[in-house]
Amino acid sequence: MSAAVSVGVAVIGSGNIGTDLMFKVMRTSSSLRMVAMAGIDAESDGLARAKRLGVATTAKGVEGLVALPEFADVRVVFDATSAGAHRHNDAVLANYPVTVVDLTPAALGPYVVPPVNLASFQAERNVNMVTCGGQATVPIVAAVAAVTPVAYAEIVASIASRSAGPGTRANIDEFTETTARALEVVGGAARGKAIIVLNPAEPPLLMRDTVYCLCPSADADRARIAASIEEMVTGVQQYVPGYRLKQDVQFRVLDDGLLVTVFLEVSGAGHYLPEYAGNLDIMTSAAVRTAEELVTA
């Protein structure tokens, strides 16, 4: 399919993430075309904005979406609901010729982190975007693992409390489990652990991520590790301009190997969400990049 072809997409979920997805598709993508948005709250701001922009809408969830005449033009569906809701949504969508890009921690399909492994899953019907912490930190672990084995990876994701909506708060357990698993499956760590912190500071702080990689070899090439990380950061910045290293990569020799520590900061693009909501922005940006690659493969 040519990259110049505009492919119809729909969003399930009219909250912050779903609304930001809509704006990103409409403002930044030349290969995707926003067709429909489905929610369950007829009074939601997301559905109201979609209507004003001429997007087909329904407040009857996935059943309402597939009943819309416009759904016949949809080839990609973004699910920005919750892990529990996604299981039902995917079961309904399995009856239609659409690709599902899942932004919940349900993980029914394979984990996808665009600069690391997207090319391996272009034929999948359902792909999972892991979590905001996963999108921010898995690339770093993968960059280290590309140079030397990683026995253990631990990440701490600190996000503004104001940027954590009901869906995020309801899925805290799924967040830690899914992110930890992605550090292993996609990042290449033998063992992974994830911690999330909801920071109540006012004014809200930008998303901060700390990545620890324990490498068994204390003699691992530090220059190559740092260069691999910097190259990966540049790759992520292609679709998340606010993604950056806060300082130089840190190295420390321990009794059981080399500890690599990376400090990251993520600010949002401000399409719909505030700049401090980098945790949400990296998810929607990664999802749009994934859909673009899937439809142009």
Rounded Cα gap, residues 261 and 211, in angstroms: 6
How far are the Cα atoms of 113, 164, 170, 195, 241 from residue 244, in angstroms, in the given order?
17, 21, 28, 20, 8
- The response to whether 17 counts as a known ligand-binding position is yes
Peptide bond into 69 cis (omega under 30): no
- Angle (CA) 188 240 229, round 5°: 40
Do 86 and 93 form a contact (C-beta atoms < 8 A)?
Answer: no
- The response to whether 15 counts as a known ligand-binding position is yes
- The response to whether 224 counts as a known ligand-binding position is no
- The response to whether 270 counts as a known ligand-binding position is no
Helix, strand or coil, per DSSP, at residue 136: helix
Is 132 known to be catalytic? Answer: yes
Rounded Cα gap, residues 176 and 195, in angstroms: 6
- The response to whether 169 counts as a known ligand-binding position is yes
Determine which one of 7, 118, 132, 226 is catalytic. 132
- The response to whether 109 counts as a known ligand-binding position is no
- The response to whether 170 counts as a known ligand-binding position is yes
- The response to whether 89 counts as a known ligand-binding position is no
Rounded Cα gap, residues 288 and 290, in angstroms: 5
Terminal C-alpha separation, the chain: 7
150 burial type by CB count under 10 A (0-12 exposed, 13-18 middle, 19+ buried)? buried
- The response to whether 14 counts as a known ligand-binding position is yes
Q: Running DSSP on this structure, what letter comes out for residue 22?
A: H
- The response to whether 168 counts as a known ligand-binding position is yes
Q: Residues annotated as binding site?
A: 14-17, 163-171, 279
Q: Would you name the residues annotated as active-site residues?
A: 132
Residue numbers belonging to the annotated binding site for NAD(+): 14-17, 163-171, 279
